[in-house]
């Protein structure tokens, strides 16, 4: 059964008043692809933007099995107990075959999901690359307007253009494993260049020595890359989400990163550039949606796909035909 929409003012008042039900309903509205929903969501976002921007925005990624959910569950609990309000935007991978998503993050973050100072929102990644949903940026702003001063974005962590994640947060934390082969750590080669902090997780039990050795290896690898910022050299730490070890030091590094980039003006400039990139990504998405909805394009699309699949027409030529049908040409 469809949920009745609220008015723009009701969404704004509810979010600013800390109403979690309204917050959840607004995020659902933002995730909708319906044209009327988009118009309403845009109006609400415009009103909420002046109340956003005050949170620590932290992206957290890592290969499957690195322990992201256990780490975030404990990390978030620590922050809440220290007086913070924490929002977790946990992205579930969607099936490329069915489009379905498990959305089980509230189960995997059982303690944090029910903490009164936390808000955990699982969302399907859908077809979006980068391990984030199509509307993650908007959701960050909404959570900030609702008064959450720490926003953690947990990504799918499958190596799909993780730069997208780094471009919407202030600090990009990469969790690594010790003792895993390169086939499991394929994410590490490219991600080292955009990581703000690296932490070798599961440094507990008989794995402590291996974790320390892996951390030393990553520190060496970082020396071979050019620093992303002149004001910051990414530290490599060890931690255990399971045993709650090293998490306070990680938070101290996240705060230090914010302070240093804030002092040089880099943080403000970074956020401004993120907004511009967000604008163009929304334009690209809307143009593509409009094009696909065009009757002329829809009439041609099946034939073009069939011809490209059969190899009788090149992808370039088929794309040109579809663009022309949409009224977009190279002239």
Taking residues 107-111, what's their average pLDDT?
Answer: 77
pLDDT on residue 307: 94
Pairing of strands 236-238, 197-200: parallel
**Which of 226, 184, 221, 176 shows the shortest CA–CA distance to 202?**
176
Mean per-residue pLDDT, 23-34: 90
pLDDT tens string 157-186: 655 546 777 888 999 999 998 865 543 444
Q: At what angle do helices 247-264 and 68-81 cross, to 10 degrees?
A: 80
| Least confident residue range of 14-18, 170-174, 222-226, 275-279 | 222-226
Least confident of 31-35, 113-117, 163-167: 163-167
Listed by start position, the domains of the chain span 1-51, 53-263, 278-325
Residue 20 has pLDDT above 50, yes or no: yes
Q: Residue 2's pLDDT is what?
A: 55
pLDDT given for residue 97 in this prediction: 37
| Domain 53-263, CATH homologous superfamily name and number | P-loop containing nucleotide triphosphate hydrolases (3.40.50.300)
pLDDT at 102: 40
pLDDT digits (tens, 9 = 90+) for 47-103: 999 999 999 999 998 877 889 989 999 999 999 999 999 999 986 554 333 333 344
pLDDT classification of 267: cutoffs 50, 70, 90: very high
Can you give the pTM of this predicted structure? 0.85
Cα-to-chain-centroid distance, residue 11: 23
Write out pLDDT tens, residues 220-238.
888 877 777 888 999 999 9
Amino acid 133: pLDDT: 56
Cβ-based neighbour number of residue 292 at 10 Å? 12
Topology, domain 1-51: 1.20.5
Confidence category of residue 18, pLDDT binned at 50, 70, 90? very high
Mean per-residue pLDDT of the chain: 85
**Is 32 or 312 the better-scoring residue by pLDDT?**
312
């Amino acid at each position: 059964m469809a949920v009745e929409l609220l008015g723009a003012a009701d969404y704004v008042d509810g979010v600013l008043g800390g109403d979690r039900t309204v917050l959840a309903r607004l995020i659902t509205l933002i995730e909708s692809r319906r044209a009327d929903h988009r118009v309403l969501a845009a109006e609400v976002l415009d009103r909420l933007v002046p109340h956003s921007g005050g949170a620590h925005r932290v992206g957290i990624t890592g290969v499957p099995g690195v322990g992201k959910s256990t780490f975030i569950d404990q990390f978030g609990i620590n922050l809440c107990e220290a007086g913070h309000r924490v929002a977790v935007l946990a992205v579930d991978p969607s099936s490329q075959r069915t489009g379905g998503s498990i959305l089980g993050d509230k189960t995997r973050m059982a303690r944090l999901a029910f903490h009164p100072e936390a808000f955990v929102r699982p969302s399907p990644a859908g077809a979006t690359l980068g391990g984030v949903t199509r509307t993650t940026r908007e959701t960050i702003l909404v959570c900030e307007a609702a008064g959450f001063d720490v926003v953690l974005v947990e990504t799918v962590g499958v190596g799909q253009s993780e730069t997208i994640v780094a471009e919407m947060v202030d600090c990009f934390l990469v969790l690594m494993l010790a003792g895993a082969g390169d086939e499991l750590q394929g994410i590490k080669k490219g991600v080292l260049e955009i990581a703000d902090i690296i932490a070798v997780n599961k440094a507990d039990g008989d794995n402590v020595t291996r974790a320390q050795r892996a951390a030393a290896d990553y520190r060496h690898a970082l020396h071979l890359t050019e620093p992303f910022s002149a004001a910051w050299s990414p530290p490599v730490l060890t931690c255990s989400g399971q045993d709650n070890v090293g998490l306070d030091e990680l938070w101290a590094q996240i705060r230090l990163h914010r302070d240093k980039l804030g002092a040089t003006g880099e943080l403000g400039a970074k956020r401004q550039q993120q907004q511009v990139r967000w604008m163009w990504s929304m334009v690209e998405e809307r143009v593509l949606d409009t094009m696909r909805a065009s009757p002329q394009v829809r009439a041609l699309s099946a034939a073009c796909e069939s011809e490209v699949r059969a190899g009788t027409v090149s992808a370039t030529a088929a794309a040109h035909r579809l663009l022309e049908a949409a009224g977009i040409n190279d002239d």
